[in-house]
Structure 1
Amino acid sequence: MIPPDANDDVENDPGGNGPVRVDAAGTGAGATIPLRRRVARPALALGSGALVALSLPPWGFWPLALLGIALFDLTLRDTTSRPARARRGWLFGAGWMFLGMGWMVQLTGPGYIVAAAIFAGFHAFAAAIGTTLGRNGRWSVLARPVAHTLVEALRFSFPFGGVPLATLGMSQVGGPLVGVVRVGGVTLLTWLTFQLGFAIVPGVRGALRHMRETADGLPADDPVYRSTSERRAVTTALCLAVGTLAAAGFAPRGSDTGETLRIAVVQGGGEQGTRALDVPSIVVTERHLEATRTIAADPDLDLVLWPENTIDVENFEVSQEAAMIVAQADRLGVPIAVGLTEDVRVDGERRYTNAHVVVAPDGEIFSRYDKVRRVPFGEYVPLRSVIERFSSAVDQVGSAIAGTTPAVLDLPDGQRLATVISWEVFFGGRAREGVALGAGMVINPTNGASYTGTIVQTQQVASSRLRAIETGRWVAQASPTGFSAFVSPDGDVIDRTRQREQAVITSDVPLRDGSTWYVSVGDRPFIVALVLAMIGLLAADVRSRRSGSPARR
């Protein structure tokens, strides 16, 4: 047997002559590996990432994520070379990100390419780290899920405050694992999905080995069989997964207070793939006013909800648009929550705010929330002074001012709404903050009119579903051109509109109280636990190598 070198791939010779050494270029140091074999594993790594992407909305077949991860694990098992595994990790990430983040090209083509390549690089790093922690086969079934979950968690905060597009949690929103978000949010769901996916191949191998050894007369309780490291690791992995699912079954979900809000969500309709520069803001406002005028006065109605960015003025309070909103609020006798942008000047620079305000029937602006998490390259340009030296396209992107207030809006009757504006719904912490402050439900006013197709729209609905399950609250999503919907605390989508249609959907939304475990503790404890697990696995691997333990594959 040829001892593995840090820079070599070790593959099994198809002729039955045992492993041969293959250098980084794929040429044999002792034999030549056919081109099809050198291409097969990288191609499978790329395809496995594409399967994960296809488990995301709008395709949304959740088992494909587990299958993709299992196939990716298979591509890592024919080499001990850290660079080779890093390359395959990048290809896995590329298949996932370039397809799953496809809608981003409509926001910024160059940014889409750079972002997808960088996030694929995250998984290259995770594959390399997973190699270090499991280089001799010990505990790799635990190390790899931890490494890949940590780099996914990193995407929620870095770069540019986080770009959580096409996340693994979205892929599972329609599957049986999603309930764990009540325990640990998307971080825990991501780990569980990776853990189960990475356990498939060693689990099947262990079962087949057990059957073979039993057939050969080796009892299942033989000490040699019991001491197999991979078997112990798979058993540990499955016990952790089952324990996590059991915890989700016992986790609190919140409860109905007995009160309801009758909410009318307004969707003005219109073409998609349009930007603010293409359509005068007054046209968008008029479409939503036209739809609002179809709402009949109803003593049971409590709130009218408009989407994000439906009014664009310099000063809303003194604008004619405000007067038109007040007229409708007065006619209906209920407040209207409306999304607006206001132009402001900061140090001589033209900037704007992106806010949602509650307009009472008497004309008072009762409460206001300014969007805290801004869309990079959509609402502001990171490193603008550097990028504008190479491209004038940045001039088309304004500079939004980030809000600083908690993620809530209050209604005149004393009810509180957790408020996440568009992009913010991708971050679990925003809805969690509002619910922790006493909100009985969540609203998500959004604007997906700039994007054609359904990738961004369906991924946003999936994110609303995750926020509903995480917090144990109903979510009302309002979009100018689709999709608008109500989402139950179990993640069921109620009365979703079609794209481009003008519509008003109304529902009696039960208000809820009580906290899920995720609302109580957030993501941090689980990220810390993953980091500690990484450190522990690394320490165990170092001890194993120092003791000269034989490799087990």
Structure 2
Amino acid sequence: MPLRFAVVAALLAGASLDLAYPEIGWWPVAFVSVTVSLWTLRGRSLPSAFLVSLVYGASFYFTHLVWVSKFLGPVPWVALAGLESILFGAGGVLIALAYRLAHSTRGLSTVVPAVVAGVWVLRETVMGSWPYGGFPWARTGLTLVDSPFAAAASWVGTTGLSFLMVFICASVLQALGQRRGRRLIPAGLVVLLTVLIPLFPTEQVGTLKVGWVQGNGPSGYFDAKSAGDILDAQEAASTPLAGRPMDLLVWPEGSVDADPLRDAEAAARLDRLVRDMGAPALVNAATVREGGIFNTSLLWGEDGAAQLHDKANPVPFGEYVPDRWFYEAVAPDLIGLIQREYAPGSNAPAMDVAGARIGLAICFDVIYDNVIRESAMAGAQMYVFQTNNADFRGTDENLQQLATARMRAIETGRTVVNVSTTGTSQIIRKDGTVLSELSVDTTGAQISEVSRYTGITPAVALMPWIGPVLGGASVLALLVATFALRHTRYTGGARRERNNL
């Protein structure tokens, strides 16, 4: 494909990929978009492959992450989307290399769809872990949460779904390019297996009666509010639940706008809340302990904070500023708005409540595999995700995060209680479907009978290795193919030289 056409195709395909994610959620578009992306890289030189992939990544990320600008304006949006685009472009170079080597190496040509898919998930893995802890948002597999492929996530995880999707797209592209129908057989078998595979069976071991409250208070960073207003809103919204039987009351992230470990009035109000509800309350607040500031979920009982969990991955440039000295020199007014420096937590994302074990993730921690896996391996029988989406009102951010929460339910085989300050909030079944919901910008409270499960799914067991192994195998294949090609050229040149002599 000529470069000028490839750039235009990449621009359109990247922008269309956003349609596969919520709010639109047209998941088949993802297959078309990925196929076009791969098509633009076939036969491409490495510099032009970077340019084409950069255009694809920019048209997607600047569209998909536009909600970032709602918080601190255009600079963080441009910085994040720009960085993601550059990393995406770098991954495109390896994919183009795979196609070039496959054209010259017979052995690689037979497995090039798997190699390309492995490079794709390697790129997602790197972007999800670097820099500053990475940003594993918008992995391609997340587009399949409403598709017939979703159940396979309980076996191979979101990263595995990304691999399967790209493998199918690369196989179709190869078959069309070579006009060989038999090349479609592997892709067809993968599609059939992925669609037919059932959810991995986890065993139900009981239920937990959970009250969950969306206070809809002034929770945004720039909302006009006074100290205690968010706590007031949560208390008022919880009133209808008083006296009704429950095992646990759940409030969202930032639901207590004071440190109850240091503020006697806030602690007294939580004591009263627990007495009125007749159950412990899982709340969240900024706490100062051990010389640091933490985003902390507290299980508040009759004797105060019985158990704590601190957010493991504070958001760079949202909850802390890495290399502050440098970024203050670049954008002092913007960086000056971020006064707190949250420290990463090290305590386990799990708590014991009423004989049950619950797993936890605070806001964006839901996108990090290590947090979800640690909870499951610690015996979590259900999950509670606490979040505050108030700074992103009127955007798709909450729905994109919800897609991740739903995929986590499928991956782990667990029910998820997903509670937000301003919406949306849900109870999510282990198959990823929503059982009950409170819509955005509404005040509400419900009590739900939440099923508890045991059993470790293959997705959870394999989470740390799926991306690195698939990606590493693809890089190894590229290295072997490069060595084989050079060896062939060297021996061929030596043979011609002997013949000339």
**Above 0.5 in TM-score?**
yes
Map 1:192-203 onto structure 2 (within 5 A): 192-203=164-175
Map 1:394-433 onto structure 2 (within 5 A): 394-397=335-338, 398-411=340-353, 413-433=354-374
Which residue identity does 2:327 align to in structure 1? I
Give the unaligned 5+ runs of structure 2: 104-108, 493-501
Normalized per residue, the structure richer in helix is 2
Which residue is 1:331 aligned to? 276
Which residue is 2:414 aligned to? 473
Deviation at 1:270, TM superposition (A): 4.2
Deviation at 1:345, TM superposition (A): 8.5
Distance between the aligned counterparts of 2:486 and 2:198, measured in 1?
41
Map 1:83-162 onto structure 2 (within 5 A): 83-108=47-72, 109-135=74-100, 136-137=102-103, 138=109, 139-162=111-134
Deviation at 1:256, TM superposition (A): 0.6
- 8 Å contact kept, 1:45–1:89: yes
Map 1:279-298 onto structure 2 (within 5 A): 279-298=225-244
Which residue is 2:215 aligned to? 268
Deviation at 1:545, TM superposition (A): 5.8
The verdict on how the C-alpha distance between 1:386 and 1:528 changes in structure 2, with shifts beyond 3 A counting, is same
Distance between the aligned counterparts of 1:74 and 1:94, measured in 2?
17
- 8 Å contact kept, 1:70–1:199: no
Distance between the aligned counterparts of 2:479 and 2:30, measured in 1?
27
Distance between the aligned counterparts of 2:232 and 2:269, measured in 1?
10
- 8 Å contact kept, 1:270–1:501: no
Which residue is 2:10 aligned to? 45
Which residue is 1:509 aligned to? 450
Map 1:421-500 onto structure 2 (within 5 A): 421-500=362-441
Q: Please, what is the CA RMSD of the aligned residues?
A: 2.5
Distance between the aligned counterparts of 1:539 and 1:512, measured in 2?
45
The verdict on how the C-alpha distance between 1:205 and 1:379 changes in structure 2, with shifts beyond 3 A counting, is same
Deviation at 1:51, TM superposition (A): 1.7
Deviation at 1:133, TM superposition (A): 2.1
Deviation at 1:67, TM superposition (A): 0.5
For the pair 1:540 / 2:477, whether they are aligned, the reply is no
Distance between the aligned counterparts of 1:521 and 1:193, measured in 2?
18
Correspondent of 2:326 among 375, 386, 402: 386
Distance between the aligned counterparts of 2:307 and 2:289, measured in 1?
19
Correspondent of 1:369 among 309, 314, 323: 309
Task: Report the 3-state secondary structure (helix = DSSP H, G, I; strand = E; otherwise coil) of the residue aligned with 1:385.
Answer: helix
Q: What are the Cα deviations for residues 347-383 of structure 1, in whole angstroms up to 9, with x where unaligned?
A: xxxx6221111111x2432211111111111100111
The verdict on how the C-alpha distance between 1:44 and 1:252 changes in structure 2, with shifts beyond 3 A counting, is same
Q: What are the Cα deviations for residues 434-456 of structure 1, in whole angstroms up to 9, with x where unaligned?
A: 12111110000110111122311
Which residue identity does 1:313 align to in structure 2? A
Distance between the aligned counterparts of 2:112 and 2:269, measured in 1?
62
Q: What are the Cα deviations for residues 312-339 of structure 1, in whole angstroms up to 9, with x where unaligned?
A: 2244365212212221211221111111
- 8 Å contact kept, 1:281–1:311: no
The verdict on how the C-alpha distance between 1:477 and 1:513 changes in structure 2, with shifts beyond 3 A counting, is same
Which residue is 2:41 aligned to? 76
Q: Report the number of matched residues.
A: 481
Which residue is 1:523 aligned to? 464
Distance between the aligned counterparts of 2:27 and 2:391, measured in 1?
27
Distance between the aligned counterparts of 2:132 and 2:187, measured in 1?
34
Deviation at 1:121, TM superposition (A): 1.8
Which residue is 2:499 aligned to? none
Distance between the aligned counterparts of 1:185 and 1:391, measured in 2?
39
Distance between the aligned counterparts of 1:190 and 1:452, measured in 2?
29
Which residue identity does 1:290 align to in structure 2? A
Which residue is 1:245 aligned to? 194
- 8 Å contact kept, 2:159–2:466: no
The verdict on how the C-alpha distance between 1:48 and 1:525 changes in structure 2, with shifts beyond 3 A counting, is closer
- 8 Å contact kept, 1:57–1:170: no
TM-score normalised by the chain length of structure 1: 0.81
Which residue identity does 1:327 align to in structure 2? R
Task: Report the 3-state secondary structure (helix = DSSP H, G, I; strand = E; otherwise coil) of the residue aligned with 1:107.
Answer: helix
Deviation at 1:200, TM superposition (A): 2.5
Distance between the aligned counterparts of 1:200 and 1:278, measured in 2?
54
- 8 Å contact kept, 2:121–2:470: no
- 8 Å contact kept, 1:420–1:443: yes
Which protein shows a greater Rg? 1
Distance between the aligned counterparts of 1:166 and 1:323, measured in 2?
41
Q: What are the Cα deviations for residues 14-65 of structure 1, in whole angstroms up to 9, with x where unaligned?
A: xxxxxxxxxxxxxxxxxxxxxxx65332011111111212211122111111
Distance between the aligned counterparts of 2:463 and 2:480, measured in 1?
28
- 8 Å contact kept, 2:21–2:142: yes
TM-score normalised by the chain length of structure 2: 0.89
Deviation at 1:526, TM superposition (A): 4.5
Identity %: 25
Deviation at 1:97, TM superposition (A): 1.0
Structure 1 consecutive aligned stretches of length 4 or more whose deviation exceeds 4 Å = 234-239
Distance between the aligned counterparts of 2:485 and 2:176, measured in 1?
25
Task: Report the 3-state secondary structure (helix = DSSP H, G, I; strand = E; otherwise coil) of the residue aligned with 1:294.
Answer: helix
Distance between the aligned counterparts of 1:404 and 1:544, measured in 2?
48
- 8 Å contact kept, 1:133–1:541: no
Distance between the aligned counterparts of 1:146 and 1:55, measured in 2?
21
